[in-house]
């Protein structure tokens, strides 16, 4: 019997009505002769509501307590959905992350899954029960509850799919799948029939919100086919899968933007061995996530160095470096908050030339200045002023002809 993992996001289970509707789909999948594990998010807005309660008590809540608090949202949904399924005569049972043996590291609010025993799930499946697992959570070595980072229920689902060697992981959301870009920004954005793991991983980490980045890494490492689809329709969604020859025919598959970044520039940095390591060690000691580092050619023994950090960490980064500045001999630390990172992603870039030139010239034609550039084999990112974000995305979407009718390589297979 095929084993399917179905994950339902916050809007899909956002009300009692929605929970009933979703239970119908689950019942139909079960009755069609599949084995099934369901993973749920908290009801829409619930995690924010809980975080807001904490903020009314303290502006810097203890991380362990935060995890105890926000893990409860998923627990509520899992029990309600199990009841709705039981109402339909489906033998369902809710489980917390702990009960299904999800062991994580100790990084509260950003924990990584280290091991999954899944014993109780295997047992439930053997007894033809439909387990409904609270997503987003696990426990650490000492059994304290941890959470996997915002959007982490996707990762619970794909990690369980890997642990149970499932045939398919379906991620149900409120959009029809993965689009060439955000349809709210570009109305001609097109749903992709399929996308490679690698492209999806880049798109997720570059700002596409449809899947939690770590869930894609799990899917790629364990070769789990993931289908992103809507729980509000019967559309087939987008299959995230292994790269195939067809995917390489177009240079660009998707465009993302991320406004949640800030740029830090260090001016007058001594151009000597060991300085960069001092700077980035100081940041990493505080778990700061640094991206897009560029250093200018040195002149007269000094150089400038810029990098990006998540917007929420910008002030802290500036503070750390201002403290370090005197000791290391940095002249000034400048923060630019109104930036956006716009990226084009596609495995076809490996075999098409002129992609970067086209991107830069189209941005230039719109009068958009590029502050930083970074590339990998399958992506090019530019940092620009945030006021040009939508214009840049629209311009590039058109330049790479992403909004056109499905091209042959995107036809149904």
CB 378 within 8 A of CB 350: yes
| Closest separation in Å from C-beta 171 to ligand ASP | 10
In angstroms, the Cα distances linking 381 to 137, 149, 366, 370 are: 32, 24, 17, 10
Position among 104, 153, 213, 308 found at the interface with ligand ASP (CB under 6 A): 153
In the bound state with Mg ion, the residue whose beta carbon lies nearer, of 178 and 355, is 178
Span from 94-102, 151-159, 214-222, 375-383 in contact with ligand ASP (CB under 6 A): 151-159
12 binds ligand ASP (CB under 6 A): no
User: How many Cβ atoms are within 10 Å of 412's Cβ, its own excluded?
Assistant: 7
In the bound state with Mg ion, the residue whose beta carbon lies nearer, of 209 and 362, is 209
146 binds ligand ASP (CB under 6 A): no
- Residue partners of 185: CB distance under 8 A and separation at least 6: 257, 390, 393, 394
Position among 14, 97, 138, 151 found at the interface with ligand ASP (CB under 6 A): 151
CB 380 within 8 A of CB 355: yes
Cα 283 to the chain's mean position, in Å? Answer: 23
Site string for ligand ASP, 17-56 (x = CB under 6 A): ------------------------xx----x---------
110 binds ligand ASP (CB under 6 A): no
Cα dihedral across residues 174, 175, 178, 180: positive or negative:
negative
Q: For the segment 224-263, give every residue that binds Mg ion (CB under 5 A).
A: none
Span from 13-21, 149-157, 174-182, 381-389 in contact with Mg ion (CB under 5 A): 149-157
Alpha-carbon gap, residue 62 to 385, rounded angstroms: 35
Count of residues that bind ligand ASP according to CB under 6 A: 11
138 binds ligand ASP (CB under 6 A): no
151 binds Mg ion (CB under 5 A): yes
* DSSP structure string for 207-264: T--SS-HHHHHHHHHHT--EEEEETTS----EEEE---GGGGSSS--EEEEE-SEEEE
CB 379 within 8 A of CB 344: yes
Question: Is residue 275 classed as helix, strand or coil in its secondary structure?
Answer: helix
In the bound state with ligand ASP, the residue whose beta carbon lies nearer, of 170 and 250, is 170
135 binds ligand ASP (CB under 6 A): yes
Count of residues that bind Mg ion according to CB under 5 A: 2
346 binds ligand ASP (CB under 6 A): no
């Amino acid at each position: 019997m095929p084993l399917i993992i179905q994950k339902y996001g916050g809007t899909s289970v956002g009300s009692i009505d929605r929970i009933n509707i979703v239970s119908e789909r689950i019942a139909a999948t079960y009755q069609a002769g599949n084995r099934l594990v369901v993973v749920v998010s908290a009801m829409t807005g619930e995690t924010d509501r809980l975080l807001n309660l904490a903020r009314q008590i303290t502006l810097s809540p203890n991380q362990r307590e935060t995890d105890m608090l926000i893990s409860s949202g998923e627990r509520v949904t899992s029990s309600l959905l199990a009841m709705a399924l039981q109402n339909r005569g489906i033998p369902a049972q809710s489980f917390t992350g702990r009960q299904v043996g999800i062991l994580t590291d100790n990084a509260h609010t950003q924990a990584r899954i280290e091991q999954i025993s899944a014993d109780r799930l295997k047992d439930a499946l053997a007894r033809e029960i439909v387990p409904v697992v609270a997503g987003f959570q696990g426990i650490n070595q000492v059994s304290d509850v941890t959470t996997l980072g915002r959007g982490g229920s996707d990762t619970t689902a794909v990690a369980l799919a890997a642990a149970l060697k499932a045939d398919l992981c379906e991620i149900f959301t409120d959009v029809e799948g993965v689009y060439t870009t955000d349809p709210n920004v570009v109305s001609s954005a097109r749903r992709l029939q399929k996308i490679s793991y690698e492209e999806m991983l880049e798109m997720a980490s570059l700002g596409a919100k449809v899947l939690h980045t770590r869930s894609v890494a799990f899917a790629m490492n364990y070769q789990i086919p993931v289908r992103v689809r809507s729980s509000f329709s019967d559309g087939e969604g987008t299959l995230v899968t292994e790269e195939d020859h067809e995917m390489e025919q177009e240079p660009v598959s998707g465009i993302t933007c991320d406004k949640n970044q800030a740029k830090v520039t260090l001016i007058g940095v001594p151009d000597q061995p060991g300085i960069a390591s001092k700077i980035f060690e100081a940041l990493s000691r505080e778990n700061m996530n640094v991206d897009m580092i560029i250093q200018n050619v040195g002149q007269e023994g000094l150089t400038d160095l810029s990098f990006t950090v998540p917007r929420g960490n910008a002030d802290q980064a500036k503070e750390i470096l201002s403290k370090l500045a005197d000791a290391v001999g940095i002249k000034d630390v400048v923060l630019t908050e109104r930036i956006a990172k716009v990226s084009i992603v596609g495995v076809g870039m490996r075999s098409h030339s002129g992609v970067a030139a086209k991107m830069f010239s189209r941005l230039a034609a719109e009068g958009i200045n590029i502050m930083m550039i970074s590339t990998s084999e399958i992506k090019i990112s530019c940092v620009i002023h945030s006021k040009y974000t939508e214009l840049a995305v629209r311009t590039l979407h058109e330049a790479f002809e992403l909004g056109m009718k499905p091209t042959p390589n995107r036809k149904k297979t």
